Amino acid sequence: MGRQVIIDWAQLLLDIQRHAVKQISRGISLVENEAPGYEQLLLSLPANHTTRIIGVTGPPGAGKSTLVDALIGAVSSDGKKVCVLCVDPSSPFNLGALLGDRIRMSEWYNDPNVFIRSLATRGSLGGLHPKIIEITELMKAAAFDFIIVETVGVGQSEIEIAGLADVTVVVMVPEAGDEVQTMKAGLMEIADIFVVNKADRPDADQFVKNLRLMLAPAFNNHQREVPVLKTIASQKQGIAELYAAIISLLTASHDDSKRAWLLTERAYHLVQQKRMKGIRKEVLQQSILEQLRANQFNLYKFVEGL
């Protein structure tokens, strides 16, 4: 039997607040793995209304990681501290992150103002990590100026990021022309900024024009105009304009109602998590299997019984 490690949560929080990188990493791991007492750490987190969360989402292949890498450069050049949480697809073997993003962003590892961590989705149906809210709140305690969350960008996951981020950047590529016509309404609604990456490809200008036309009705209904920006992230082109647009939005948004909505989304998610605690899929599967074999299974009765 291994000796149980006693964690001094108060000291850990102090270390995180003084930006000790090893302790920041350790704090994330303890929260990820629900180490006994981790909630004590979360309950003692100080209020932070200055750190801003930037969500970066969009379909696979849009160049999100390259864009985030370039955005780190813009933030760092501005003298700001940035934490990047890359939500990678889980490895099917051990539920660990595949670390693709961390390999691509390796040039930042010795920069004291940049912290990068890959998080696995761990089977979460959305593209976010099941403990993403807790981890972002923990990172706020480390006094980062910005937290960039890059999602996997599959299925409906893009929409989840809206409940987490103060500004949501949706990244697309010119080839997505046909997709725009059938784009999920939710994705159109959550974008604070649209980025057309790989804008040196053919039809980029036409794609941008079509996207702006699609967004025009919402603007005409007195909603805020959503910027559509062109970037070539691999060459760092358009990144300064993107960073300026993000700063502009964050500076302009003093609307407490949006902040309340964001916090409501987070609170709702956490309440859901707590209520689901103790319900394990393998136990559900075994119970369903037994009822199926007995020819007694009714999905609605089963769920009601929980």
pTM exceeds 0.85 for this model? no
Calculate helix-pair angle for 256-276, 132-141, nearest 10 degrees. Answer: 120
Dump strand ranges (E) for the chain: 52-57, 82-88, 114-120, 146-150, 167-172, 193-196, 228-230
Q: What is the pLDDT of residue 240?
A: 97
Burial level of 266, CB count in 10 A (0-12/13-18/19+)?
Answer: middle
Question: Which residues on neighbouring strands pair with residue 167, listed in sequence order?
Answer: 54
In this prediction, residue 1 has a pLDDT band, given cuts at 50, 70 and 90, of very low
Contact 191, 168 (CB under 8 A): yes
Mean pLDDT (the chain) is 81
How many helices (H) and strands (E) in the chain? 14, 7
Q: What is the pLDDT of residue 178?
A: 59
Q: In angstroms, rounded to a whole number, what is the distance separating the alpha carbons of residues 201 and 248?
A: 28
Residue range 247-261, pLDDT digits in tens: 999 988 666 676 677
Q: Break the chain into its structural domains and give their ranges.
A: 1-44, 48-253, 276-305
CATH architecture designation of domain 48-253: 3-Layer(aba) Sandwich (3.40)
Residue range 68-117, pLDDT digits in tens: 999 999 999 999 999 999 886 544 333 444 444 444 556 777 788 999 99
Residue range 36-81, pLDDT digits in tens: 989 889 999 998 889 999 999 888 788 998 999 999 999 999 999 9
Q: In angstroms, rounded to a whole number, what is the distance separating the alpha carbons of residues 99 and 105?
A: 10
Q: In angstroms, rounded to a whole number, what is the distance separating the alpha carbons of residues 190 and 93?
A: 33
